[in-house]
Structure 1
Amino acid sequence: MLLRLAQPDDAIAVARVHVRSWQSAYRALLPDDYLDQLRPEDRAAQYDFATLDPRKPRTIVAEEDGHIHGFATTSPSRDTDAADHGELCALYVDPTQWGRGIGVALVTAARTHLAHAGFRDAVLWVLDGNLRAERFYQRDGWASDGVHRTDTVWGVTVGEVRYLRPLSAP
């Protein structure tokens, strides 16, 4: 498995992983009709994998035999009360690849990227009720700080809980 920074040509492959992951992981958490209408082409148009601006999100992909199986996106935290933190904005693995360690490799690479960018701590947001994700992040040393928010993502309003983690050790 090769972990590398996403390139502009990766947009549609990353979007396919993104949409399939949402459709599987969030099936019981978001309306079926909403999930069924998601299209990778719509999502791919929103990615900017060409930027080198350190203040903008950066995406790491997990590639094997020319196929992207997952990705992690990091950036400086968007939370005003955690402005000195890095943020894991997204981590998705194609559902056909779950259980192979790709998520662990990606979250480790994302943490390393944030640490190299100078961050000592990181935040992430988990969709309310996403117990699989909560367990995954807890095993990686993340802990909820009890902060909840309502956000609009891809045109749907969701509840989320925030997790924090030091980047130096689990």
Structure 2
Amino acid sequence: MLIRPAQPDDALHIARVHVRAWQVGYRRLLPGDYLARLDPRERAQRYDFANQDLQRPKTVVVEEDGIIRGFATTSPARDADTPDSGELCALYVDPDAWGRGLGTALLSAARLRLVEQGYRHAMLWLLAGNQRAERLYCADGWAPDGQARTESMRGVTVDEVRYRRSLLV
């Protein structure tokens, strides 16, 4: 297993993992027609892995045998009430690689990145009902902080719960 920073040439590979993870992981949480319309080529256009601005999201990937199996993206927290926090914006592993510790490794790498950037706390938004991810985060010391929101993503309304954890050792 190799964890490394994402490169511009990784965009389509990461997008394929992203879409597949949504299509399998959110199968019972989001409408099937919405998931079926997800397009890795379209999603890859949204990524900017060349930008070096520390205030912009940064992504690391996990590879096995040269194949990208997952990724994690961190950034400064976007919520105004979490000024001392970094944010885990995304963490996805290809469903074919679930259960092999890649998510745990990515989560550890994401936390380390946030610590290196000087953050004392971390937060993330979790799709309500995503029990698989909830187990992963809770095992890593994350807990709901009482905040929830409803978001609209391309015509689909989702409920999310905010989780937080200390990054202090």
Length-normalised TM-score, structure 2: 0.97
The amino acid that maps onto 2:98 is W
Match of 1:4 in 2: 4
Match of 1:78 in 2: 78
> SS of 2:81's equivalent?
helix
Pairs aligned (count):
169
Match of 1:30 in 2: 30
Quote the offset at 1:158 in angstroms. Answer: 1.1
Match of 1:17 in 2: 17
State how 1:1-170 maps to structure 2 within 5 Å.
1-153=1-153, 156-169=156-169
State the alpha-carbon separation in 1 of the partners of residues 46 and 152 from structure 2: 15
The amino acid that maps onto 1:85 is S
What 5-or-longer segments of structure 2 have no aligned partner? none
CA deviations on 1:117-157 (whole Å, 9 max, x unpaired) are 00010000100111111111000000001100012345532
RMSD: 0.9
The amino acid that maps onto 1:73 is T
State the alpha-carbon separation in 2 of the partners of residues 2 and 109 from structure 1: 11
- Identity among equivalent positions (%) equals 62
The amino acid that maps onto 1:114 is L
State the alpha-carbon separation in 2 of the partners of residues 140 and 75 from structure 1: 19
The amino acid that maps onto 2:159 is G
State the alpha-carbon separation in 1 of the partners of residues 114 and 74 from structure 2: 7
CA deviations on 1:104-123 (whole Å, 9 max, x unpaired) are 00000000000000001000
Length-normalised TM-score, structure 1: 0.97
State the alpha-carbon separation in 2 of the partners of residues 120 and 83 from structure 1: 10
